[in-house]
């Protein structure tokens, strides 16, 4: 089992293509690329943490049924409060390779939380990939800076785990 992290898919949000300069000609092309990219990496026994702003349209089950793996969702500012009756997580903590990792959609909300080695966030799309603010090491895990693909957590920690 492998663990992946991603965020800011914005399924069904046509204006996100224009707002962030995504290289897609239509929402259908973007949605299909996100499905294809995720499924090329993620196997059925893998877990994917999506750090907010998954979808603008319902039903999510139609989209999720096309994706490999088990998906765990955090609440973004454009998400519905519930996913098929299951509440979305506001924030999560992971432990991997001796690191305490905090997941939250909003970078600003990470700044009020202390004691973690790495803060994985989204929300800011193409604005930056990594940022150090005070004692906080933030990594933007949104698809806009990761070639529209989920990122393997072990690879991420090997390549971005030390500041």
Residue 163 lies in a domain: no
Residue 19 lies in a domain: yes
Total tally of structural domains belonging to the chain: 1
Q: pLDDT tens for residues 31-41?
A: 999 999 999 99
Residue 46 lies in a domain: yes
Which CATH number fits the domain that encloses residue 103?
3.60.21.10
Residue 55 lies in a domain: yes
Q: pLDDT tens for residues 71-124?
A: 999 987 766 655 666 568 889 999 999 999 999 999 999 999 999 999 999 999
* Torsion from C-alpha of 18, 20, 24, 26, nearest 10 degrees: -40
Residue 161 lies in a domain: no
Which is nearest to 136 in space by CA: 160, 153, 119, 157?
119
Cα 104 from chain centre: 9
Residue 106 lies in a domain: yes
- The whole-model pTM stands at 0.93
Residue 26 lies in a domain: yes
Distance separating alpha carbons of residues 68 and 62, to the nearest angstrom: 13
Determine the structural domain holding residue 61 and report its residue range: 3-155
CB-based contacts of 32, cutoff 8 Å, min separation 6: none
Q: Retrieve residue 67's tokens.
A: 């994706």
3 state DSSP class of 157: helix
């Amino acid at each position: 089992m492998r663990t992946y992290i991603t965020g800011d898919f914005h399924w069904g949000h046509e204006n996100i293509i224009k707002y962030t300069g995504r290289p897609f000609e239509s929402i259908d092309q973007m949605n299909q690329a996100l499905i294809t990219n995720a499924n090329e990496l993620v196997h059925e026994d893998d877990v994917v943490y999506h750090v907010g702003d998954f979808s603008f349209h319902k039903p999510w089950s139609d989209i999720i049924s096309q994706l490999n793996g088990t998906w765990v969702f955090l609440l973004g500012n454009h998400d519905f409060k519930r996913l098929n009756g299951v509440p979305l997580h506001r924030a999560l903590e992971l432990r991997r390779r001796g690191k305490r990792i905090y997941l939250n959609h909003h970078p600003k909300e990470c700044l009020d939380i202390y004691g973690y080695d790495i803060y994985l966030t989204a929300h800011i799309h193409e604005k930056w990939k990594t940022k150090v603010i005070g004692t906080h090491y933030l990594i933007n895990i949104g698809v806009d800076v990761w070639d529209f693909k989920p990122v393997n957590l072990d690879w991420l920690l090997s390549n971005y785990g030390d500041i």
